[in-house]
Amino acid sequence: MRDRNESEIPQQQGICLTEGFIADKGTEPFFGSAGIKIKDYKDVYAELTTGGFLDKDDKPLLKRDLVKKNSVMGRLMSWAQYSTIRQGSRNINGMSGSEKLVKLQGKRYLFIWEKDDGSVRFKMTFGTSDNNSAGSPLSEQEALTAWDAILPTLKKRI
């Protein structure tokens, strides 16, 4: 690991971090998770997780529950009415995967895309923070537009 100027683009394989770089041959999966909050949209949250995998007994995204039943989001979904906005296969920059986009009661949205092998997962939530009773300030179409603009920016690690 070494320091890296934000404008530097390393010529060797590795992982760029804020003001840092980890040299890596790229032969092993990178395990990590990063949460992203958007300054002007305080109740929009994005999370990228890499390095996971599906066990042989795991169901693919479209055939399993979106959240763990005992989690906060799981409890919310157990009593809230929700509907699927869109679901199906969606390939992103050479990565075969699936997306499931749901609208929860009260203008709240949960959007998930996952690579078929489970190694990459991207999730966005809109209007789901604990202290938000009004839901998202974004309409369903605006949330979909944000999702469709951000999701294709994911790139395969090469």
Do 5 and 35 lie in one domain? The reply is no
Interacting residues of 21 by C-beta distance below 8 A, sequence separation 6+: 1, 2, 3, 4, 8, 10, 14, 15
Give the CATH number, domain containing residue 58.
3.40.1000.10
pLDDT at 115: 93
Tell which residue, 116, 124, 141, 109, has the closest CA to residue 34. 124
pLDDT band at 147 (very low <50, low <70, confident <90, very high): very high
- Of 49 and 15, more confident: 49
Do 64 and 44 lie in one domain? The reply is yes
Tell me, yes or no, whether 65 lies in a domain: yes
Tell me, yes or no, whether 158 lies in a domain: no
Is pLDDT of 11 > 90?
no
Do 76 and 96 lie in one domain? The reply is yes
Do 99 and 71 lie in one domain? The reply is yes
Q: Is the pTM of this model over 0.85?
A: no
Do 135 and 79 lie in one domain? The reply is yes
Do 14 and 57 lie in one domain? The reply is no
Do 62 and 116 lie in one domain? The reply is yes
Interacting residues of 11 by C-beta distance below 8 A, sequence separation 6+: none
Structural domain span for residue 15: 1-30
Tell me, yes or no, whether 87 lies in a domain: yes
Do 22 and 61 lie in one domain? The reply is no
Is pLDDT of 122 > 80?
yes
Do 24 and 57 lie in one domain? The reply is no
As for how many domains the chain has, the answer is 2
pLDDT band at 151 (very low <50, low <70, confident <90, very high): very high
Do 3 and 47 lie in one domain? The reply is no
Percentage of the chain beyond pLDDT 70 is 86
Chain segment 26-58, per-residue pLDDT in tens: 666 667 787 878 777 778 889 988 888 777 777
Is pLDDT of 130 > 90?
no
pLDDT at 77: 63
Do 78 and 106 lie in one domain? The reply is yes
Other Cβ atoms within 10 Å of 101 Cβ, number: 20
- Of 26 and 21, more confident: 21
Other Cβ atoms within 10 Å of 128 Cβ, number: 20
